[in-house]
């Protein structure tokens, strides 16, 4: 019978088998780390500001004269998790169509960014918002009131898209 052995006993050398020197070495490593600057952050007092490339919660771009979205529903079609629901309606504005209802179910969203990629109007973009906490399922469905974000707050992402998309 052909048996390959690789037990702990075979792997360790004499000093390692003694155990105590290894304990001392481990404690030494811990001691060294104590004098290095910390890797962690005091969240929520200290917050991390992501860069433009970060894919946080998808939001709708709000311009001065209203939303950019024309309710073409491509985001909803491309969404692999079926998180987005759009209901279009007619307006008298030059862009005849607008979303009377736009809802993203954040429990379904997987932050893939396909909605942003497919959008012909650059109306839905990924924001820097990563703080998503809900106490029930209904709250996790965000409507237009929570989705529309003024364009001034989204400049980093729009700049990133212009450069790299």
Partner 1 sequence: MPQITIDGQRIETSAGKTIIEAALDNGINIPHFCWHPGLSVSGNCRMCLVNTGFPRKAADGSFERDENGNSVIGWGPKLAIACATPVAEGMVIDTKGERTEHAQNAIMEFLLINHPLDCPICDEAGQCKLQEYGFLHSKGQSRYNEQKNQKDKRVELGPNVMFDGERCISCSRCIRFADEVAEQPVLTFVQRGDHVTIETFPGTSFDSPYSMNVIDICPVGALTSIDFRFTSRVWEMSFTDSICPGCSRGCNIKVGVRNNEILRLEPRTNMHVNQYWMCDDARLTQYKFVNENRISSPMIRSGNTLAPTTWETATARAAELLKNYKPSEIMVIGSAHGTNEDNYLLAKFAHSTLKTHNVDFFRHLDNHFADTFLRTNDRAPNSHGIVEVGVKHEPSSGVSMDTLVERIKQHAIKAMYVMGDDIAANSDFASALTGIECLIVHASNHNATTALAHVVLASTTYAELEGTFTNMNKRVQYVQPAVATQENERIAGLQMSRWDKFGASNDRWARGERRNCRQNWQIIQNIANLFGADWNYSDSESVFKDIANHIGAFSGMSYNLLQEFQGLTLGKADSPEPKGVVYQSHTLKPN
Q: Give the binding site for partner 1 (CB under 8 A).
A: 70-74, 76-77, 82, 85, 88-90, 95-97, 103, 105, 107-108, 120-121, 137-138, 141
Which of 52, 99 has the CB closer to partner 1? 99
Q: How far is CA 108 from CA 17, 70, 71, in A?
A: 51, 23, 20
C-beta of 12 vs 81, nearer to partner 1:
81
Q: Which is nearer to partner 1, 98 or 128 (CB)?
A: 98
Least Å distance between CB 151 and partner 1?
19
CB atoms within 10 A of CB 161: 18
Q: How far is the CB of 61 from partner 1 (least distance, A)?
A: 15
The secondary element (H helix, E strand) that includes residue 60 is strand 58-63
* CB of residue 131 to partner 1, shortest distance in Å: 22
């Amino acid at each position: 019978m052909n048996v390959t052995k690789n037990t702990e006993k075979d792997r360790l050398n004499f000093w390692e088998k003694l155990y105590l020197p290894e304990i001392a070495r481990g404690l030494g490593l811990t001691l060294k780390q104590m004098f290095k600057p910390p890797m962690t952050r005091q969240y929520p007092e200290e917050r991390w500001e992501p860069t433009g490339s970060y894919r946080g919660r998808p939001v709708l771009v709000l311009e001065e004269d209203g939303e950019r979205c024309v309710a073409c529903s491509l985001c909803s079609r491309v969404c692999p998790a079926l998180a987005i629901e759009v209901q279009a309606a007619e307006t008298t504005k030059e862009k005849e169509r607008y979303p009377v209802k736009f809802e993203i179910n954040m429990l379904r969203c997987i932050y893939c960014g396909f909605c942003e990629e497919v959008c012909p109007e650059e109306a839905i973009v990924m924001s820097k918002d990563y703080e998503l906490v809900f106490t029930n399922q209904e709250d996790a469905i965000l409507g237009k009131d929570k989705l529309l974000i003024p364009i001034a707050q989204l400049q980093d992402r729009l700049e990133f898209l212009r450069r790299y998309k």
